């Protein structure tokens, strides 16, 4: 499934949280933007700048649970956090060698043309960040921007209308308070369907290394 929309040029995000932003909610979907009676998405119009797309890594693209079980012999929910993180930190290149989620490539293939930014949480210490960046560089490409932070701080990078695809539902409230659209990821198919509802229906895609935009006119 491919979704066509105006390409989003990368820009470093460092502004503080906007406390006055209005959150978006997808009715009946657990996150996102609500459509009005005419079927249009409130807050994201065709005349508005295209929203920036953020995509989580663990649980969306990479199989953290499988990797943890391979190293520790148990799934994360059966391990004490201190023991789990200590063991994973000692494992050589843990994050760098994680497998894709079963439908991770489907999710990435569906959003890659939108020039998403990876927004991924880190455990304590400085061991995980270079491993995650190496995975992204190898599997997604050097051109894909990667932001790392504590998971609880992801909302700091949100601007009104920005979209986050993330499997951690606990991050939804803070992201929406910042004016963003949260897609609770459970499967690639459902996340891409929600994204299709949220985004403007313009058929546009990026081309070339400089992010040139090629408009594909309907009919």
- The residue ranges of every structural domain in the chain are 1-62+100-219, 63-99
pLDDT at residue number 47: 56
pLDDT at residue number 78: 97
pLDDT at residue number 48: 64
Residue with tokens 């005349």, as numbered in its chain: 47
Neighbour count for residue 57 (Cβ, 10 Å): 24
pLDDT at residue number 174: 98
- Name the pairing type of β-strands 163-166 and 53-55: parallel
pLDDT at residue number 72: 98
Mean pLDDT by 10 residues, the chain (219 residues): 40 34 37 40 56 97 98 97 97 98 98 97 97 98 98 97 98 98 98 92 38 37
Residue 103 is classified by DSSP as T
CATH superfamily membership of 1-62+100-219 = HAD superfamily/HAD-like (3.40.50.1000)
């Amino acid at each position: 499934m491919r979704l066509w929309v105006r390409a989003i040029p990368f820009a470093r995000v460092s502004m503080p949280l906007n406390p006055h932003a209005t959150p978006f909610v997808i009715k009946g979907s657990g996150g996102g933007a609500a459509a009005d009676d005419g079927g249009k998405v409130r807050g994201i119009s065709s005349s508005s700048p295209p929203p920036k797309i953020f995509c989580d890594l663990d649980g969306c693209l990479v199989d953290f649970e499988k990797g943890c079980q391979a190293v520790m012999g148990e799934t994360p929910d059966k391990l004490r956090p201190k023991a789990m993180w200590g063991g994973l930190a000692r494992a050589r290149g843990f994050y760098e060698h994680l497998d894709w989620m079963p439908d991770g490539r489907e999710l990435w293939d569906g959003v890659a043309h939108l020039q998403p930014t990876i927004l991924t949480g880190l455990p304590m210490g400085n061991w995980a960040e270079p491993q995650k960046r190496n995975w992204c560089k190898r599997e997604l490409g050097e051109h894909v921007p990667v932001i790392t932070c504590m998971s609880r701080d992801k909302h700091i990078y949100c601007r009104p209308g920005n979209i986050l695809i993330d499997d951690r539902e606990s991050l939804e409230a803070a992201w929406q308070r910042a004016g963003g659209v949260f897609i609770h990821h459970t499967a690639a198919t459902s996340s891409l369907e929600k994204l299709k509802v949220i985004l403007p229906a313009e058929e546009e895609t990026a081309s070339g290394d400089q992010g040139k935009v090629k408009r594909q006119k309907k009919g």
